[in-house]
A and B are shown apart, each in its own frame.
Chain A
């Protein structure tokens, strides 16, 4: 997968997880929703690991690359990052 495709899929899983999170905030006993949330989160986590291994960290606390790489271009408001 290229950067754009990977970003798109990662973003989509996180978006779905977040929408489920909002539902769970007002329906915290809904076990089915909780399962959905966990599934989306796990899918996101996998894709994020893959994305970061190929394109660098997306948060400052990921220093697995051994340097302060999260500073590197592109930044999210730039077309190259999307």
Chain B
């Protein structure tokens, strides 16, 4: 079962709202390579794992990803505080705003709602572990992209740290015993 601690795994305190950035980051919330998908993938695969090491690892990492899901939600929430209508329109955030205002919704940057198509859970150990490696590679690439190209470094140094920690944290999943 799940137990909740009322704090983030890593603190988020963003001084300057930025709806344009929020439009991109929301894909790590409800997009195909986002944290919700990651947690559902690992938490779903664990049932049919044959050895305790993998049951434990997938349970622990899946749970951690829910904590990351919470962090991303927090980032988008803080990036969309106190917006004027002009800011909403000019940033392009209006296309999300019309459906959700500043409520959180599990959606990709493309506007596609979260879909379980984004992960595989096949009940076969090697297949599922290969899915995890591929997923991890995609996630790491996406997060490197955020870090290096989407204006993170120059504009939002406080966000940069969150990206780094996901990348470092994800390296743990590479310790699969083959």
Q: Which of A22, A28, A59, A79 is within 8 Å of B5, CB to CB? A: A59
- Enumerate chain A residues within 8 angstroms of B10, measured Cβ to Cβ: 11, 15
Q: Which of A14, A21, A60 is within 8 Å of B60, CB to CB? A: A21
Report if A58 contacts B (CB, 8 A). yes
- Enumerate chain B residues within 8 angstroms of A68, measured Cβ to Cβ: none
A23 vs B10: C-alpha distance when bound (angstroms): 20
**Contact between chains at B73 and A77 (CB < 8 Å):** yes
**Contact between chains at A19 and B172 (CB < 8 Å):** yes
Report if A26 contacts B (CB, 8 A). yes
Instruction: Kindly name the residue among B6, B57, B173 whose own CB sees the greatest number of chain A CB atoms within 10 A.
Output: B6
Give chain A nearest CB distance to B175 CB in angstroms: 5
Can you list 8 pairs linking A and B with CB atoms under 8 Å apart?
A: A10-B7, A11-B11, A22-B172, A23-B172, A28-B53, A76-B6, A77-B78, A81-B8
User: Interface on A for B, CB 8 Å cutoff?
Assistant: 4, 7-8, 10-11, 14-15, 18-19, 21-23, 25-26, 28, 57-60, 70, 75-77, 79, 81-82
